[in-house]
């Protein structure tokens, strides 16, 4: 039996009903995104910890998640397998960067939930100092009004495009057409949007200190320190643009797996 999510009760009930080998993928974050969720998670840790104890094997999707699980639940390294999430890499084979701005501006892209911890506000704060760039934001969430207000205060509203509920094809096209993808989240157990951007041939800038570290190679993906400062982000964007990496992006040997590879690794765990 293979169960998912430390943060949901079904995994706990499945563990209690265990009658065969139990594999557990926790997608563990350690922290909640609000004060109330943090308090709830602390209270839940006793219950959630029992799932790890009853599991025969724990699968973590990043080194960051693996370190947290080992530290917070005293799980030995031998009980844990690291198997990152996968992509259907066939989706990305024929993508082309063919959407150019009429005014010659460069495009920064963010894809994901609009939450404060995701760090989108840092990108907006950088825009007044990046006159040749515009920002495309794809997603929705509770922090959207705050982001619109910030854009108005900084007089960059006309340089931001907001998109919701885009089709898969449109999303992939926007990944490929962006000049760089930015994800400055404080908490990520993996970072699927970064994986997708890299697979689409778009260089990335990420905040360090979470699972996003796994993608940083200093060329196709650059990391900046947490807490993020506007000055460091501006420099990272300018340096990446000056490097010309977008025009010479090599998508070979990325730290991104196809789902077929993930399936094979899972089967090996089930058989072990």
Instruction: Give domain limits for the chain.
Output: 2-82, 90-248
Helix 35-54 to helix 63-73 angle (10° resolution) is: 80
Whole-prediction pTM: 0.92
Structure tokens at 195: 């994986």
Q: Which fold has domain 90-248?
A: Rossmann fold (3.40.50)
134-166 burial code (b ≥16 CB/10 A, e <16): bbbbbbeeebbeebeebbeeeebeebbebeeee
H or E, element range at 66: helix 63-73
Per-residue pLDDT of the chain (272 residues; tens, 9 = 90+): 999 999 888 998 999 998 899 999 999 988 766 667 767 777 778 888 999 999 999 999 999 999 999 999 999 999 999 999 999 999 999 898 766 666 779 999 999 999 999 999 999 999 999 999 999 999 999 999 999 999 999 999 999 999 999 999 999 999 999 999 999 999 899 999 999 999 999 999 999 999 999 999 999 999 999 999 999 999 999 999 999 999 888 888 788 999 999 999 999 999 98
CA distance 205 to 62: 18
Task: Kindly state the DSSP code that residue 231 receives in the 8-state scheme.
Answer: H
Cβ-defined contacts of 94-97 (< 8 Å, 24+): 95/172, 95/173, 95/175, 95/176, 95/200, 95/201, 96/176, 97/176, 97/177, 97/201, 97/202, 97/246
- What is the topology classification, in CATH, of domain 2-82? Rossmann fold (3.40.50)
Placement of tokens 């999303």 in the chain = 171
Query: What is the b/e burial string over 75-90, where b = at least 16 CB atoms within 10 angstroms of the residue's CB?
Result: beeeebbebbbbbebe
CA distance 206 to 193: 11
What are the phi and psi torsion angles at 86 (to 5°)? -115, 175
Per DSSP, the three-state class of 160 is strand
């Amino acid at each position: 039996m293979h169960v998912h999510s430390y943060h949901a009760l079904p995994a706990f009930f499945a563990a209690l009903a265990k009658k065969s080998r139990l594999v557990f993928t926790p997608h563990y974050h350690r922290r909640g995104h609000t004060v109330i969720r943090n308090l709830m998670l602390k209270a839940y840790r006793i219950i959630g910890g029992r799932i790890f104890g009853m599991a025969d094997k724990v699968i973590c999707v990043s080194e960051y998640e693996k370190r947290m699980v080992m530290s917070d639940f005293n799980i030995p390294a031998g009980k844990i397998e690291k198997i990152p999430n996968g992509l259907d890499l066939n989706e990305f084979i024929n993508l082309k960067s063919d959407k150019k701005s009429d005014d010659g501006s460069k495009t920064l892209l963010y894809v994901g939930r609009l939450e404060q911890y995701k760090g989108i506000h840092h990108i907006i704060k950088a825009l007044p100092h990046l006159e040749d760039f515009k920002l495309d934001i794809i997603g929705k969430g509770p922090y959207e009004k705050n982001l619109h207000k910030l854009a108005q205060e900084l007089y960059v509203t006309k340089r931001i495009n907001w998109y919701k509920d885009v089709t898969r094809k449109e999303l992939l096209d926007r990944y490929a057409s962006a000049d760089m993808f930015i994800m400055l989240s404080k908490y990520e157990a993996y970072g699927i949007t970064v994986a997708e951007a890299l697979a689409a041939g778009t260089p990335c800038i990420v905040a360090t200190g979470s699972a996003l570290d796994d993608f940083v190679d200093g060329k196709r993906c650059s990391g900046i320190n947490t807490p993020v400062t506007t000055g460091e982000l501006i420099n990272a964007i300018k340096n990446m643009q000056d490097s010309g990496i977008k025009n010479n992006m090599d998508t070979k040997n990325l730290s991104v797996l196809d789902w077929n590879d993930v399936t094979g690794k899972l089967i090996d765990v089930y058989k072990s």
